Amino acid sequence: MTSAGTDLLRERLQKRLDELRAEVRAASLRDASEAEAVVREAHDRGDEASAEIQLGIGDAELVRDLHELREVEAALQRMARGTYGQCEDCGQEIGEARLAAHPAARRCAACQAAQERRRPR
């Protein structure tokens, strides 16, 4: 990954972060902090489905937004630490094409597919 490529992706991630924050605020000004706490906890357990159940079907979109928000934040943190673009499972380069399509990707395509087979969405 070239540093120019990373700069571009950082910009996209930052922009997405702003969009998501605005969406979350708009979706639920009252419940956002509660929802965020539930999602944060579920996310740490690797169990987003339980957050959706806890928050109710009506908030599924909010849960998705909050989940993506966490993913985008994590990607920006990896950039700050210099580990961005490395698969967190196998340590290989994720690849520029995949990062261009999914700037917040944590895993290479092969590891992501393996993960989804283990835990279908």
**Which residues of this protein are in contact with Zn ion, per CB under 5 A?**
87, 89-90, 108, 111
- Rg (Cα) of the chain, in Å, rounded? 15
> What CA–CA distances, in Å, run from 29 to 36, 53, 110?
11, 20, 38
Q: Which residues pair with 86 in a beta bridge?
A: 93
- As to burial, measured by CB atoms within 10 angstroms (0-12 exposed, 13-18 middle, 19+ buried), residue 78 is middle
Task: Pick between residue 66 and residue 108 the one whose CB is nearest to Zn ion.
Answer: 108
For the bound state, the minimum distance from the C-beta of residue 113 to Zn ion, rounded and expressed in Å, comes to: 10
31: helix, strand or coil: coil
Task: Pick between residue 38 and residue 108 the one whose CB is nearest to Zn ion.
Answer: 108
For the bound state, the minimum distance from the C-beta of residue 91 to Zn ion, rounded and expressed in Å, comes to: 7
Task: Pick between residue 62 and residue 111 the one whose CB is nearest to Zn ion.
Answer: 111
Task: Pick between residue 53 and residue 100 the one whose CB is nearest to Zn ion.
Answer: 100
For the bound state, the minimum distance from the C-beta of residue 82 to Zn ion, rounded and expressed in Å, comes to: 18
Q: Which residue has the tokens 């070239």?
A: 2
For the bound state, the minimum distance from the C-beta of residue 4 to Zn ion, rounded and expressed in Å, comes to: 24
Q: Which residue has the tokens 């520029």?
A: 96
